[in-house]
Structure 1
Amino acid sequence: MEATHALWLLAVPISALMVAALARRIGLSAPLILVIAGLLVSFVPGVPEFRLDPEFVLFFFLPPLLFSAAWESSYLSLRENARSIGLLSVGLVLFTTVVVGYVAHLMIPGLPLAAGFVLGAIVAPPDAVAAVSVARRLGLPRRMVTILVGESLFNDATALTAFRVAVMAAAGAGFTLLDGTERFLFAAAAGTVVGLLLGPPLHWLRTRLRDPLVENAVTLMAPFAAYLIAEAVHASGVIAVVVSGLYLGHRFTQSSAVTRLIGHSFWKVLIFILESVVFLLIGLQLPPVIDGLSGYGAGELALWATVIFVVVVLTRFVWVFPTSYLTLLSRPGRSREAGVDWRARVAVSWAGMRGVVSLAAAFAIPFATETRAPFPGRDLILFLTFTTVLATLLVQGLTFPMLIRALGIGSARERYTDTVAEAGAQHAAANAALRRLEELVAEEPQPPDETVVERLRQLAEHRQLKAWERLGGGTGPAGEEVPTSTYRRLRREMLAAEREVFVRMRDERRIDDEVLERVLHELDLEEAALSRE
């Protein structure tokens, strides 16, 4: 029996990776396909129930996912859009909590207002994983992505704090609005302090280890350490993780090149696995949610689920459009950017997919109140949370790409501007490199081999030209291939030929596997560099 249980546990990540790989291959959104797959599998006879352990999700899944998103985010861009992000991650979450709470209280007979606020806090925060994966895949303008990512990084802290306050009120712990405000402010401030106190020593340690594997191991431990330390002092673990991730990510350039290469690949693989498992688990939660709904009719459940979903969606529109005239999609003192208009507001309003944090919070609702009475509406809140998460992922997630295309929102102009800026930077950097080369040649006691110097000059000039040539789409006059494109194509063929020789010599036992691994690593690094050009 234990072996069978272990096999089912192993089947979840394996199935998640297979479905995600298939979705990526056919060009569909992996999170949405995974949710649908989990939902379908949950109805298959013989499949056991996979109940989300809220503590496990909030500690094991959430910290690395948030840390990675924070690490890849631009601290400077987030700071520039701090007011916009604050209005969404704090203002909108609290607004949604109140609106959904009152609607649920008025619509559902016997549901206390405090329990309605519990539901509102649970479904208030859009999911960081869904927002990042969908927004970046669609190629939205960078500022929109920054606002959506920034919102998803910080809104979990607001929602989880509001959730805990609402649960205490519903459970009869005697919490007041003032108590809740004080708790929220303390959790946010203390979480920020923990993140800031943890970031510098971790950065100091990483830069002095001089060992790429150990440096990345320290980075892996950072989100879990930040979350645990913050939660231990009753601060916001989410904010601590995000702040430490922003601090370390902003300073990643001070790490060695090998550390960055290993870290980039490692985090890509880890996040891919975690995201795949998370979204599959969301779909698998239907049977446990349905178990406690025997006392309700199918018609009223469908009505309540539809109303809550519609309220969640409309609340975001009601909040975004008025507040956007203040700070959301306009910068004080600057003219509006191309594409940042009502269409962008519509896109931001529709990008409200919910995810695993909402489900984890719902499963964390206690079974009983302070008086040992059943927690009011617990099973119903679980059901409405699941239907809201599922509806936002499927309805908004599936239609979001079509909406973006219909609105004509894209980042083509932004990509062109980036390429021009990169070309200018490459030009300046190459000139600095050439000047430094001439200085070094002049300082050498013995003049270096002119062949070596000329090769270094050609490498600098190659880097100088490649960004300018990219402006032409990689082709020259009349569609001719530009020199850097020709260089990459021919060099890749040469690397493939070299690799075949090394492998053949290993198979013939003329070189050892350790030798093969070393030379292939050098070839792989060069080919990876060619692929990124």
Structure 2
Amino acid sequence: LIFEAAFKIDAGQLLKHLIVILFFAIPVMLLSTFVAATMIYYGIGHPTGFPWIAALLTGAMLAATDPVAVLEIMRKAGVPKRLCILLDGEALFNDATAIVTFSIFLYIAQHPMEDISILDASIRFMVVFFGGAIIGLFIGFTFLFLSRILHDYIQQAIVTLIAAYISYLVADSLNVSGVMSVLVAGMVLGRVIHHDFQDHEKRSFVDDFWSFNVYVAEAIMFLLMGVTITVGMFTDNWLAMLIGIAAVLIARGVGVFGGAPLISLLPGVERIPFGYQQIMFVGGLRGAVTLALALSLPLELDYWWTVQSIAFGVVLFTLFVQAPTVSPLIKRQKFDD
């Protein structure tokens, strides 16, 4: 999922708006994590059964956005490219940040006897995050050399698939972020392959190859959710689900409506109109990445059932309640650009 998003993103537009995208994907995402975690912790109000670390795990899990369905609606409606790239780029880096943050919190949850300070966790985050990016850069350029030797587009597609797995495995074996490695490798290969392949048919084949992979991966993810979810989750944890939904909406609102005016103060950064902010708020759906993190929770954690229930409830809410509001909201907007 991460590789496909990185591979197909418009690198030119991404670089043009990189400062704003990284602002929303890293500091704002971390802020949203802690806002949501705080609300969930105090909302559930059971420190022994649902400790702080459980709330932080939940907050990180719910911070990963998945605006794929919204972006398709936006493109068909002729929404400005800037708004599309802000949502798309934010989701790309946001997912990586959320996964790294989740993995750190999960490590803390599984090693409660270790004395890990905020400084230690911050340093670990930086090393894991940027270490993965460096590995991805190296793997990306290595496979880029190989892809230029191979001129057949079927071989090119296979090379990208191998690169996605190798970049993750190498980074993971070095104890840095495999997700960041995959993201950067995907961006490197996508940028150059789309530029080198002048033949539209060849470019389309590689893109369709990855679209199919993502379709299968997301189908499996939701199938696993269907197998895992039970009626008991709704009867036993309905209040926790509602608290999670409220926490996600408030955290997203704080991040978007608080962050947009702040980043616009920087010199050279174009102001983000309020209409853009509204769509960014509503378009912050939760999907496959949140599900993947929820399904990866170890069963030895006493609170895994509650955390997983909250994640499932939030995903269902954003897909069936929040997503349908995007199209009417877009129709009401008048975009100047």
Both proteins in one fold, TM over 0.5: yes
How many angstroms apart in 2 are the aligned matches of 1:214 and 1:277?
A: 21
Counterpart in 2 of 1:204? 145
For residues 306-359 of structure 1, give each alpha carbon's deviation from its aligned partner in whole angstroms, at most 9, with x where no partner exists: 22112201211112122212336x8844765xxx52111111111111111111
How many angstroms apart in 2 are the aligned matches of 1:354 and 1:335?
A: 27
Counterpart in 2 of 1:151? 90
How many angstroms apart in 2 are the aligned matches of 1:281 and 1:249?
A: 25
Indicate if the aligned counterparts of 2:154 and 2:206 stay in contact, CA closer than 8 A. Answer: no
Counterpart in 2 of 1:142? 81
Structure 1 residues 274 and 252: alpha-carbon distance in aligned structure 2, compared to 1, 3 A threshold: closer
Equivalent in 383, 388, 407 of residue 309 of structure 2: 383
* RMSD of aligned Cα (Å): 2.6
How many angstroms apart in 2 are the aligned matches of 1:230 and 1:177?
A: 24
Structure 1 residues 197 and 307: alpha-carbon distance in aligned structure 2, compared to 1, 3 A threshold: same
Indicate if the aligned counterparts of 2:140 and 2:188 stay in contact, CA closer than 8 A. Answer: yes
- Structure 1: give runs of 5+ residues left out of the alignment: 1-64, 369-374, 415-533
The residue type equivalent to 1:92 in the other structure is V
Structure 1 residues 183 and 128: alpha-carbon distance in aligned structure 2, compared to 1, 3 A threshold: farther
Equivalent in 283, 289, 293 of residue 357 of structure 1: 289
Percent identical residues? 28
The residue type equivalent to 2:202 in the other structure is I
Q: List aligned pairs for 1:198-347, cutoff 5 A.
A: 198-252=139-193, 255-258=196-199, 261-272=201-212, 274-275=214-215, 278-279=218-219, 281-282=221-222, 285-290=225-230, 293=233, 298=235, 301-327=237-263, 332-333=267-268, 341-347=273-279
The residue type equivalent to 2:151 in the other structure is R
Indicate if the aligned counterparts of 1:127 and 1:353 stay in contact, CA closer than 8 A. Answer: yes
Does 124-133 or 241-250 show the bigger shift?
124-133
Q: List aligned pairs for 1:35-184, cutoff 5 A.
A: 65-108=1-44, 109=46, 110-127=49-66, 129-130=68-69, 132-171=71-110, 172-174=112-114, 175-184=116-125
The alpha-carbon deviation at position 204 of structure 1 amounts to 1.9
Indicate if the aligned counterparts of 2:8 and 2:207 stay in contact, CA closer than 8 A. Answer: no
Indicate if the aligned counterparts of 2:4 and 2:210 stay in contact, CA closer than 8 A. Answer: no
How many angstroms apart in 2 are the aligned matches of 1:102 and 1:253?
A: 43
For residues 446-487 of structure 1, give each alpha carbon's deviation from its aligned partner in whole angstroms, at most 9, with x where no partner exists: xxxxxxxxxxxxxxxxxxxxxxxxxxxxxxxxxxxxxxxxxx
The alpha-carbon deviation at position 73 of structure 1 amounts to 1.9
Secondary structure of the equivalent of 1:242? helix
For residues 381-438 of structure 1, give each alpha carbon's deviation from its aligned partner in whole angstroms, at most 9, with x where no partner exists: 11110000111111221111111112234xxx75xxxxxxxxxxxxxxxxxxxxxxxx
Secondary structure of the equivalent of 1:247? helix
Counterpart in 2 of 1:526? none
Indicate if the aligned counterparts of 2:156 and 2:206 stay in contact, CA closer than 8 A. Answer: no
For residues 28-66 of structure 1, give each alpha carbon's deviation from its aligned partner in whole angstroms, at most 9, with x where no partner exists: xxxxxxxxxxxxxxxxxxxxxxxxxxxxxxxxxxxxx32
Indicate if the aligned counterparts of 1:289 and 1:379 stay in contact, CA closer than 8 A. Answer: no
The structure with the largest alpha-carbon Rg is 1
Indicate if the aligned counterparts of 1:162 and 1:180 stay in contact, CA closer than 8 A. Answer: no
How many angstroms apart in 2 are the aligned matches of 1:101 and 1:249?
A: 35
Equivalent in 158, 166, 185 of residue 126 of structure 2: 185
How many angstroms apart in 1 are the aligned matches of 2:297 and 2:221?
A: 19
- Structure 2: give runs of 5+ residues left out of the alignment: none
Secondary structure of the equivalent of 2:298? coil
How many angstroms apart in 1 are the aligned matches of 2:113 and 2:215?
A: 36
TM-score (norm 1): 0.57
Does 239-248 or 110-119 show the bigger shift?
239-248
Structure 1 residues 285 and 209: alpha-carbon distance in aligned structure 2, compared to 1, 3 A threshold: closer
How many angstroms apart in 1 are the aligned matches of 2:73 and 2:121?
A: 33
Structure 1 residues 273 and 239: alpha-carbon distance in aligned structure 2, compared to 1, 3 A threshold: closer
Secondary structure of the equivalent of 1:251? helix
Indicate if the aligned counterparts of 1:75 and 1:250 stay in contact, CA closer than 8 A. Answer: yes
The alpha-carbon deviation at position 101 of structure 1 amounts to 1.7
Indicate if the aligned counterparts of 2:74 and 2:330 stay in contact, CA closer than 8 A. Answer: no
Counterpart in 2 of 1:366? 298
Secondary structure of the equivalent of 2:286? coil
Secondary structure of the equivalent of 2:229? helix
Secondary structure of the equivalent of 1:140? coil
How many angstroms apart in 2 are the aligned matches of 1:112 and 1:404?
A: 40
TM-score (norm 2): 0.88
Structure 1 residues 241 and 132: alpha-carbon distance in aligned structure 2, compared to 1, 3 A threshold: farther
The alpha-carbon deviation at position 213 of structure 1 amounts to 3.0
Indicate if the aligned counterparts of 1:105 and 1:113 stay in contact, CA closer than 8 A. Answer: yes
How many angstroms apart in 1 are the aligned matches of 2:299 and 2:224?
A: 22
How many angstroms apart in 2 are the aligned matches of 1:173 and 1:193?
A: 32
How many angstroms apart in 1 are the aligned matches of 2:201 and 2:70?
A: 26
Structure 1 residues 160 and 69: alpha-carbon distance in aligned structure 2, compared to 1, 3 A threshold: closer
Structure 1 residues 196 and 131: alpha-carbon distance in aligned structure 2, compared to 1, 3 A threshold: farther
